[in-house]
Amino acid sequence: MRYISTGQVSLPTSLKEAVLSGIPDDGGLYLPETIPQLDKHFIQSLESLSLQEIALGISAAFLADDIPVTQLQEIVTRSMNFDVKLKKLDDQLSVLETFHGPTMAFKDFGARFMAQLMSFLIRGEDRELTILVATSGDTGSAVASGFLGIPGIRVIILYPEGKVSPSQEKQLTTQGQNITALEVAGNFDDCQRQVKRAFADSELRQVHRLSSANSINFARLLPQSFYYAYIAGKLMSKKGDLVVSVPSGNFGNLTAGLMAKRMGIPLDHFIASTNRNDVFPKFLQSGEFFPRPSDQTLSNAMDVGDPSNLARIRYLFKDDIQAIRTEISSWSFDDEQTREKIAVIFERFNYIIDPHTSVGFLGLNQYLETAKKEVEGVVISTAHPAKFPESVEPIIGESIPVPPQLAQYLEREKQATHMSIDYEDFRQFLTDTLG
Ligand SMILES: *Cc1c(COP(=O)(O)O)cnc(C)c1O
Q: Please give the domain boundaries of the chain with CATH numbers for all domains.
A: 84-103+220-402 (3.40.50.1100)
CA–CA separation, 392 and 397 (whole Å): 8
CA–CA separation, 340 and 337 (whole Å): 5
CA–CA separation, 119 and 8 (whole Å): 28
255 Cα–ligand 1 center, Å: 12
CA angle 238, 99, 298 (to 5 degrees): 105
Q: What does the CA dihedral 159, 139, 272, 92 come to, rounded to 10 degrees?
A: -130
Nearest-CA neighbor of 222 among 117, 102, 362? 117
Nearest CA to ligand 1 atom 8: 250
| 61 phi/psi in degrees, rounded to 5 | -60, -35
CA angle 155, 161, 166 (to 5 degrees): 85
CA–CA separation, 16 and 122 (whole Å): 9
Q: Which helix (H) or strand (E) holds 138?
A: helix 138-147
Atom of ligand 1 nearest to the CA of 137: 15
Nearest-CA neighbor of 358 among 343, 370, 348? 343
70 Cα–ligand 1 center, Å: 31
Atom of ligand 1 nearest to the CA of 255: 7
The predicted-structure confidence for 360-386, as pLDDT tens digits, reads as follows 999 999 999 988 889 999 999 999 999
107 is catalytic: yes
pLDDT, averaged across the chain: 94
- Judge contact between 238 and 269, C-beta under 8 A: no
Catalytic residue (choose from 107, 234, 261, 387): 107
Is the model more confident about 132 or about 188?
132
| 294 phi/psi in degrees, rounded to 5 | -85, 155
Q: Give the pLDDT confidence score for residue 216 in this predicted structure.
A: 85
CA–CA separation, 170 and 392 (whole Å): 20
Which residues does a 6 A CB cutoff place in the pocket of ligand 1? 105, 107, 138, 215, 247-253, 301-302, 356, 382-383
- What residues contact residue 95 under an 8 Å CB cut-off, 6+ apart? 86, 87, 89, 351, 353, 357, 378, 379, 380, 381
Q: Give the pLDDT confidence score for residue 200 in this predicted structure.
A: 86
| 31 phi/psi in degrees, rounded to 5 | -140, 150
Q: In the structure, what pLDDT confidence band is assigned to residue 187 with cuts at 50, 70 and 90? A: confident
Interval 66-81 mean pLDDT: 97
Q: Give the pLDDT confidence score for residue 164 in this predicted structure.
A: 86
The predicted-structure confidence for 333-363, as pLDDT tens digits, reads as follows 999 999 999 999 999 999 999 999 999 999 9
Q: Give the pLDDT confidence score for residue 167 in this predicted structure.
A: 83
143 Cα–ligand 1 center, Å: 14
- What residues contact residue 367 under an 8 Å CB cut-off, 6+ apart? 243, 245, 269, 271, 329, 375, 377
Interval 298-304 mean pLDDT: 92
Q: In the structure, what pLDDT confidence band is assigned to residue 139 with cuts at 50, 70 and 90? A: confident
How many whole angstroms from its chain centre is CA 28? 18
What percentage of the chain has pLDDT greater than the value 70? 100
- What residues contact residue 174 under an 8 Å CB cut-off, 6+ apart? 409, 412, 413, 414, 415
Whether 215 shows a pLDDT value over 80: the answer reads no
Q: Give the pLDDT confidence score for residue 22 in this predicted structure.
A: 81
For residues 350-364, one letter each, b for 16 or more C-beta atoms within 10 angstroms of the residue's C-beta and e for the rest, the string is eebbbbbbbbbbbbb
Atom of ligand 1 nearest to the CA of 107: 15
Burial class (CB in 10 A: 0-12, 13-18, 19+), 296: exposed
Whether 137 shows a pLDDT value over 80: the answer reads no
Helix and strand totals (H; E) in the chain:
20, 13
Atom of ligand 1 nearest to the CA of 248: 9
Could you report how far apart the first and last alpha carbons of the chain are, in Å? Answer: 36
Q: Give the pLDDT confidence score for residue 410 in this predicted structure.
A: 86
CA distance to 157, 214, 396, per residue, from 199 (Å)? 14, 13, 45
40 Cα–ligand 1 center, Å: 31
The predicted-structure confidence for 148-167, as pLDDT tens digits, reads as follows 999 999 999 999 999 888 88
The predicted-structure confidence for 121-136, as pLDDT tens digits, reads as follows 999 888 899 999 998 8
Nearest CA to ligand 1 atom 14: 301
Q: Give the pLDDT confidence score for residue 328 in this predicted structure.
A: 98
Q: Give the pLDDT confidence score for residue 252 in this predicted structure.
A: 95
302 Cα–ligand 1 center, Å: 6
